[in-house]
A and B are shown apart, each in its own frame.
Chain A
Amino acid sequence: MTVEAEYVIADPVVASVAARAAIETSGVVRLEPGLRGLVTAWTRAARQRWKGLEPAPADGVRVRTVEGRRIVEVDVVTSGVDQAAAVGRAVQRAVTRAVADQTGLSVAAVTVSILDIEAAGR
């Protein structure tokens, strides 16, 4: 008799894997946490004090599951040296690949929002 084991990988794990993949993509300057991210980071910091855990940062990344499809949204700032559209597509591919490789989960869609492009030479 085989025991069936189910592994549950929580969204925050997917988010931090995605965040790491995005920030390591060439042309990405940083992730943009935005307002939601800022408040989330504060509450996380508060929670940390209770639990003594330090979860991996995932600011600027949201993971949602809509009708069974896992959707990752990433907010980034890109460098003005590279073409924003190309960097965005590279982030899409990097996130999908990293999540599959490191968690075994598939991502149905990755939406990349480029909120800022840093001017070249600034």
Chain B
Amino acid sequence: MAVNQDYELPCGRELDTVWDRLDEVGAGRADEHELSCPHCRTARESLLALREATQELVTEPDPPPPDLVGRIMSAVRAEVRRGQMLNLGTSEPGGVEVSEQAVAVVLRYAADSAGDVRARRVRVRTVGVDDGGAARVEVELTLAVRLGNGDRGQSLARVRELVTRAAAARVGLSLEKLDLLVEDVYEDGE
């Protein structure tokens, strides 16, 4: 499992990988995933645009700003997030929206805090809009549960409660449906 989760795209690829493979893909040596994945494509386009901009900056006499790579990565990540936004509804003119990625992080964190489980992947799907203009969403959460003592049914019920509560309290979304998929088990010390 990647340590630096922050730079993981919704498809599971690392942003660093996309960066490293820019030239390979540009030379027509893309793998199947890279050809079809919209997340990778968005990231690639952003990175290419940035690389162009930075090459112009290289010709600048001034030294580059500190932490250049970090700022580029964070900008690209924001750009990828902007791709999938959920409406939160508002009575004010305009709108309030939140990125699916941000919601996923909040829900994963809530699930982890239930104990005896480890949240893996969160998928958020919009299924409609409620009266207040907020998105109605279905969430699928993939988990690994701890092997051994403890009531598994109970810990899943706790996950369900914490995730539903976090969606309402931390984000302001009510979940239409929450699917918990246990895809793995783990032992202590793993």
**Inter-chain contact A84/B170, CB cutoff 8 Å:** yes
Check: B57 CB closer than 8 A to any chain A CB. yes
Check: B134 CB closer than 8 A to any chain A CB. yes
How many positions in chain B have a CB within 8 Å of any CB in the partner chain? 41
**Inter-chain contact A119/B106, CB cutoff 8 Å:** yes
Quick one: CB contact mask for A103-117 with B, threshold 8 Å, 1 for yes? 000001111111111
**Inter-chain contact A84/B95, CB cutoff 8 Å:** no
**Inter-chain contact B94/A115, CB cutoff 8 Å:** no
**Inter-chain contact A116/B95, CB cutoff 8 Å:** no
**Inter-chain contact B102/A42, CB cutoff 8 Å:** no
Chain A interface: which size bin?
35 or more
Shortest A39–chain B CB gap in Å is 5
Q: Report how far A72 CA is from B99 CA in the complex, Å.
A: 18
Check: A71 CB closer than 8 A to any chain B CB. yes
One of B7-15, B25-33, B68-76 at the interface: B68-76
Q: Report how far A3 CA is from B92 CA in the complex, Å.
A: 38
The residues of B with any CB-CB pair to A shorter than 8 Å are 46, 49-50, 53, 57, 60, 62, 65, 71-72, 75-76, 78-79, 81-82, 85, 88-99, 101-103, 105-106, 109, 134, 169-173
The residues of A with any CB-CB pair to B shorter than 8 Å are 32-35, 37-39, 42, 46, 49, 71-72, 75, 80, 83-86, 88-89, 91-93, 96, 108-117, 119-120
5 nearest CB pairs, A to B: A85-B172, A88-B96, A109-B94, A85-B88, A110-B94
